[in-house]
Amino acid sequence: MSSTDTPDHPDIAALAVQAPGPGPAPVITADEIARTHKVRSRISHTQRDWFIRTAVDAPWAAVPIEAQLADADPNISGELYGRAEALYDHFRTAAPRHVGVAKISKVLHLKRPGLFPIPDSKVMAFCLHPARAAAARYPHRGRRAMFWAAIRDDVCTHLDTGAIPLFRCRLEQAETEQVRRIATLTDVRLLDLLTWAIA
């Protein structure tokens, strides 16, 4: 990664979203929505107000702030994966026009940075076949494509092989502070960045 990357590229911009952390657990604030603009969420003022209102009765308590995607097994009903789906669906089912997967995911990633990936159109196109294969493995979920499950498979594989820890270690040893700070991102966000770079 280059130390000259701009906010248009998600590596440096990601820091503005994940840091300084997920903020107040049971709400979404205007400042938090503003942070998502660093990764080009394009959330309007009207959409911002909708997110803030909708967050009031969202099932935040069922999904711990420190939750990790690697721990969300889609094969186990009623556990973390299902609770994360319920939180996402709380926003998705009531979403107004032009609030789709990417905008909701960017907001939820900010609130639960270790759990929710950011499957924008580029990542979804890259992961489409693995996501369909994942859906076939977990028919009880009733999905045609399971992007979280496919991304989780990649996270688990790269943790097991040591690729993510090695990547993090190399980032920590970089010459510039800007690049070293990327090492503080969660596993799921680091994988997002790698996928974005090669997709």
User: Taking a C-beta distance cutoff of 8 angstroms, is the pair 75, 153 a contact?
Assistant: no
Digit-coded pLDDT (tens) for 49-86 = 999 999 999 999 999 999 999 999 999 999 999 999 99
Q: Is 119 exposed, middle or buried (0-12, 13-18, 19+ CB in 10 A)?
A: buried
Q: What percent of the chain has pLDDT over 90?
A: 77
Per domain, the residue ranges of the chain are: 10-198
As a whole number of angstroms, the distance between CA 168 and CA 182 comes to: 8
Spatial contact of 151 and 128, defined as CB atoms under 8 Å apart: no
Q: How far is 10 from 122, CA to CA, in rounded Å?
A: 12
Confidence tier at 14 by pLDDT (50, 70, 90): low
Tell me the per-residue pLDDT of 27-51, one tens digit each, with 9 for 90 and over: 999 999 999 998 889 999 999 999 9
SS3 7: coil
Choose among 25, 168, 192: nearest CA to 119. Answer: 192
What pTM was estimated for this model as a whole?
0.86
* Top-confidence residue, 189 or 20: 189
Say which range, 13-17, 74-78, 88-92, 114-118, has the weakest mean pLDDT: 13-17
